[in-house]
Amino acid sequence: MARIVLTDHLNRFIDVQHFDVQGTTLQEILNAAFLKHPSLKSYVVDDQGNLRKHIMVFIDNMLLTDRENLSDIVQPSSEIYIMQALSGG
Amino acid sequence: MADRLWVATRKGLFRIDRNKDTWRINPPSFLGDPVSYVLQDPRDGIVYAALDLGHFGVKLHRSSDAGAHWEEITTPAYPKTEPEEKGASLTLLWCLAAGIIDQPGQLWAGTIPGGLFRSDNRGDSWVLNNALWNLPERKEWQGGGYDEPGIHSICIDPQNGACITIGVSIGGVWHSHNGGESWQPRGNGLRAAYVPPELSKINHFQDAHAIRSAATDPDTLWCQHHNGIFVSKNGGEKWTELLNVAPSVFGFALAVHPHHPDTAWFVPAVKDETRVPVNARLVVNRTRDGGKTFESLSKGLPEKQCYDLVYRHGLDVDKTGLQLAMGSTTGNLWISENSGENWQEIATHLPPIYAVHFSE
């Protein structure tokens, strides 16, 4: 299972810091994360399900490459950090 | 007079309570978060706070105990579309309006990028008004200040909740007589100075900065427009421009006396290139004769070196029509208890103020 780690700023709104989910792409991982923690969804994606403009996602210390389709590959051992960009604040 | 004022700012929501002859500023809710709008529903006392979280989107909170506790509730959302259609997404919850007394729980929300939403259950769920969203003209609405168009004013006839007038920056004035099932343009007489002359009278090019009506006379509508001040005596069927208003006809904020529809207040500024008080001196303009004459009121307001701008929701009048509150982009807050004749400085170091709202 891949591990999702949330920025401290999200801990203000969602009472969880990290949790494990299954998936082989970032889209699958996020879908699983939103199923597990429904309140997380609107903080990370917009009305159309697109990654919010000022959200950054790192997969194993690499910034995601496909913001549009979230097709970046995730390994079972991956760590996925959901962070806020320094823009947009 | 109202004893409580809500102040929505760039860094949180402040509740300000009258304490004998002074006003007490309470510790803020949502410290650090931009609060784009606040409404206390006069029907049930519930307070709604719209947040504009820079990273995490628009959020909406509700309190039934005057801000002691808040619960996050459903935020209006645009319908999901196929990816190739590039569907809309909520950018800002710009205004909220309570329905009339026999529509308990009904709320309207004006948003950027231009959707009007309705809730019939105190914000537990929201529905996009498709009749407005699907207007062909809506696709020609433009951003005004913000990148995308938005609804900032919602006027509901207190005697007939199905009669609704909205103002859009930039998209004109629209009216529905059937609760939002259909919409008609209501920009006849408005004038846009920032488009080619042949387009200047078209409703959906009008940048109405604020539209307000008197509670006792919803047919009298006032409009602080991007390039002028206008008044209508027939619900927006025909607008009349008020010319030669000193020191300026530019501004954002507007308040209308709840019982005397010919009385309205404006906060003039130098037009769009600079957006500061004329001659760096803050005044409030008041008319009491339907716009035939205006007087500039300044007692208690900064006389010099003042660069405060008052946004379109930064001026409010209470239900007596005597008490006004005004908050600025520089974090200054004033209250007048005599219809604007004298102003008392309440705070000088608040965060930039987006909206002020008296609790009734």
pLDDT in tens, B254-280: 999 999 999 999 999 998 888 999 999
- Asked whether the predicted pLDDT for residue A88 surpasses 70, the reply is no
Give the up-direction half-sphere exposure of residue B288: CA atoms within 13 A in the CB hemisphere.
8
Distance from the B33 Cα atom to the nearest Cα atom in chain A, whole angstroms: 9
% chain B with pLDDT above 90: 94
Q: What does the pLDDT look like over B212-237, one tens digit per residue?
A: 999 899 999 999 999 999 999 999 99
- Say yes or no for a CB contact (<8 Å) between B57 and A50: no
Using the Cβ of B82 and the Cβ atoms of chain A, whether some distance falls under 8 Å is answered with no
Q: Which of residues 13-72 of A touch B (CB under 8 A)?
A: 13, 39, 42-44, 46-50, 52, 54-55
Q: Between residues B86 and A51, which one has the greater pLDDT? A: A51
Q: What is the pLDDT of residue B163?
A: 97
Q: Please give the Cα distance from B186 to B47 (Å, whole number).
A: 31
Q: What is the pLDDT of residue B86?
A: 84
Q: Which of A48, A50, A85 sits opposite B55 (nearest CB)?
A: A85
What does each C-alpha distance from B268 to B208, B271, B297, B304 come to in angstroms? 15, 9, 11, 15
Q: Which of B55, B83, B90 sits opposite A54 (nearest CB)?
A: B55
Q: For the residues of A26-67, what is the DSSP string, one character each?
A: HHHHHHHHHHH-GGGHHHHB-TTSPBPTTEEEEETTEE-S-T
Closest-approach residue (CA) in chain A for B31? A12
Nearest to B92 by CA among B169, B15, B28: B169
Q: What is the pLDDT of residue B285?
A: 98
- Say yes or no for a CB contact (<8 Å) between B80 and A13: no
B269, B209 contact by CB (below 8 A):
no
Give the fold, CATH level 3, of A2-84: Ubiquitin-like (UB roll) (3.10.20)
Closest-approach residue (CA) in chain B for A39? B72
Using the Cβ of A8 and the Cβ atoms of chain B, whether some distance falls under 8 Å is answered with no
Distance from the A44 Cα atom to the nearest Cα atom in chain B, whole angstroms: 6
DSSP 8-state assignment for residue B159: T
- Asked whether the predicted pLDDT for residue A89 surpasses 70, the reply is no
Chain B environment of A54 (Cβ under 8 Å): 54-55
| Residues of chain B below pLDDT 50 | none
- Asked whether the predicted pLDDT for residue A75 surpasses 70, the reply is yes
* Alpha helices for B28-134 (secondary structure H): 130-133
